[in-house]
Structure 1
Amino acid sequence: MATDNKVVIVNEKDEVIGAMDMMQAHQEGRLRRAARVFVLNEKGQVLLQRRSESVLHPLLLDQSVGGHVDEGESYHEAAKREMAEELGIDAVPLEEVVTSYRIEYHFNAIYRTRIHSQDEVSFDPDEVAGVTWYDPDELSVKVEQSPEEFTSSFPQVWRELRDKIITP
């Protein structure tokens, strides 16, 4: 996300009430919107990213794609933009898993998509330090045994929505 973009600020009902600088919203603990995408391959594996050193929560594992909803964007538009920015993937259908899912200071829309070739992934090193494919069962074990390797919100999302994310 460009640093000069304003992010959507919402109330407790996920209704838009304004927009502000992302870092200011983060520092003030304002409720905001985010879009998250889980990318799966034909084997049913889930792609996780290791966040870059230059972003919030550096070098922690997180969902395939994630980012704030910018002013004037829908959840879906933000998810598509983040897919292109972070992983170089566009023109793939996104299937909504859940919307208005509250985690910490974010209301989230969570999507999933399937890609047919790992060659489709070309991550941006400014946003992503690396990517790894995980078998869902292996990922569940890792979340339980090493939660400190993940962003603070990832374990909750995975535990609560795993089956909806991976079910064809």
Structure 2
Amino acid sequence: MILPPVILVNEQDEPVGTMEKLEAHQKGLLHRAFSVFVVNSAGEMLLQQRALDKYHSGGLWTNTCCSHPLPGEETLAASHRRLVEEMGFDCPLEEIFSFTYRARFDNGLTEYEFDHVLVGTYNGAVTPDQAEVQAHRFLPLDSIRALLKEEPGTFTHWFHLAFPKIADYLEQARK
């Protein structure tokens, strides 16, 4: 399976090259990524359950969408593109923070990502790509916190890392 290239970066998110996505994950090289978190006007977060046949973390619950910008593509533009491709809608997005994480998976792949975290609000229809998304649902932040404690193995590694900061941001914004 040949996947599109990712942008390899240094620890300051400066591009240092490109590499086919699967190869970058096999070698565990740092690359640029983004995670989009969408909430509705009631403050509920839109989660997706990754399709079972994804190359890693299949069947796990996570944020609204995530991916990698293509070489030459701005992260914000890539976030809008993938939101439409994965979830079937678009909305205004704002980058809130970024972080670097590394996670090794049972299949030998390693996510080593400089992850840009974006947030948006949307209240319309959600029509996900079935090849990408097995299921989706809006949940209140407190329900997500409870699920992360009760069923931590049902969520992606990066969701555990990003959710607390996003939840704090969203709760402060609602005050």
Using the size of structure 2 for normalisation, the TM-score is: 0.87
Among candidates 84, 88, 100, match of residue 102 of structure 1: 100
Q: What stretches of structure 1 move > 3 A for 4+ residues in a row?
A: none
For 2:107, the equivalent position in structure 1 comes to none
Identity, % of aligned pairs? Answer: 31
Q: Distance in 2 between matches of 1:162 and 1:103?
A: 19
Among candidates 139, 143, 148, match of residue 138 of structure 1: 143
Q: Distance in 2 between matches of 1:108 and 1:51?
A: 18
| Cα drift, residue 3 of structure 1 | 4.7
Does residue 1:5 correspond to 2:4, yes or no? yes
CA contact (8 A) 2:3 2:22 kept: no
Q: Distance in 2 between matches of 1:4 and 1:97?
A: 28
Using the size of structure 1 for normalisation, the TM-score is: 0.91
Letter in 1 for 2:114: F
Letter in 1 for 2:23: Q
Shift in alpha-carbon separation, 1:41–1:161, aligned structure 2, 3 A: closer
Q: Secondary structure at the match of 2:16?
A: strand
| Cα drift, residue 150 of structure 1 | 0.5
Q: Distance in 2 between matches of 1:164 and 1:103?
A: 20
Q: Secondary structure at the match of 1:113?
A: strand
Alignment of structure 1 residues 103-122 onto 2, 5 Å:
103-104=101-102, 105-117=112-124, 119=125, 121-122=126-127
Task: Return 5+ residue gaps in structure 2 as ranges.
Answer: 103-111
Q: Secondary structure at the match of 1:153?
A: helix
For 2:39, the equivalent position in structure 1 comes to 40
| Cα drift, residue 157 of structure 1 | 1.0
Residue by residue over 1:55-97, the C-alpha shift from the partner in whole angstroms, topping out at 9 and shown as x without a partner, is 121000010010012111121111111101100112x211111
Q: Distance in 1 between matches of 2:135 and 2:170?
A: 21
Q: Distance in 1 between matches of 2:53 and 2:151?
A: 23
Measured on the aligned residues, the alpha-carbon RMSD in Å equals 1.5
Q: How many residues align?
A: 163
For 1:61, the equivalent position in structure 2 comes to 61
Task: Return 5+ residue gaps in structure 1 as ranges.
Answer: none
